[in-house]
Structure 1
């Protein structure tokens, strides 16, 4: 089994810039390409730097959330500040979270890997808990020994 824990987290707020994912929810290759293209566009436009400037820490979050029956994906930071170009303020509730840790060569690879492990391996085997929706986030926390490391945060409830 992968490196994971269940932890209590205080509520927190993420300010994000988002996009609607158009691929079918089972088309993982299509979803991953849309996410990668979105992050590349944000980086080239300097919009990630604007987000980082208002962050309360060095974490960069890739947030997935269903909004009005649409699959949304956001680049975000934890903050109480606002940003004119932000498209959503995302509130994560206080409660228990599945935390999956990992590392990868790139931030993009980290986000895809953590999402695949959390939803494809850990959640299906997590007998006492269930994910019942709400925002979830892949969190890029830093670089160590040339590799990007981070965690996936998924709010869960006891069954």
Structure 2
């Protein structure tokens, strides 16, 4: 089984600018392309820089959340501030989180790798906890040795 840990986290808020993912939830290639195109756009148009200027730390959040039956994806930062162009204030609950650490050549690669480990290996094999919905996030924490490193945070409940 992949390396992971369960960690208690206080509630926190992520300010996000998002997009609706139109691909079927089982179409991983389509979803990954939509996410990559979205991230390319928010980096090029300055949106991500505007968010980072409000952040309380250096973390960049790639948040996935079902909202009103739609699959949403957000670029976000931890902050109490707001921006007029922000599309959602995402509340993460206090509680236990599945935390999977990793690294990749790019932020996209990191996110895809961590999601694959978390949803493809850890959660299906977990006996004592489960993901029951709510926002989850890949947290880009920095770079070292030419690689992007970070964690995936998924709220879980005990079975």
Aligned partner of 1:113 in structure 2 is 113
> Structure 2: how far apart are the matches of 1:108 and 1:158?
30
Q: Is the 8 A contact 1:16 1:89 kept in 2?
A: yes
Number of aligned residue pairs: 159
Give a deviation string over 1:49-73, Cα, whole Å, max 9, x none: 0000000000000000000000000
Matches within 5 A, 1:33-112: 33-112=33-112
Partner of 1:4: 4
Give the gaps of 5 or more residues in structure 2.
none
What TM-score, normalized by structure 2, do the two folds share? 0.99
* Partner deviation per Cα, 1:67-110 (whole Å, 9 max, x = no partner): 00000000000111111110000000000000000000001110
1:20 paired with 2:23, answer no
Cα displacement (A) at 1:134 = 0.2
User: What is the RMSD computed on CA atoms of the aligned residues?
Assistant: 0.5
Q: Does structure 2 conserve the Cα–Cα contact (< 8 Å) formed by 1:15 and 1:77?
A: yes
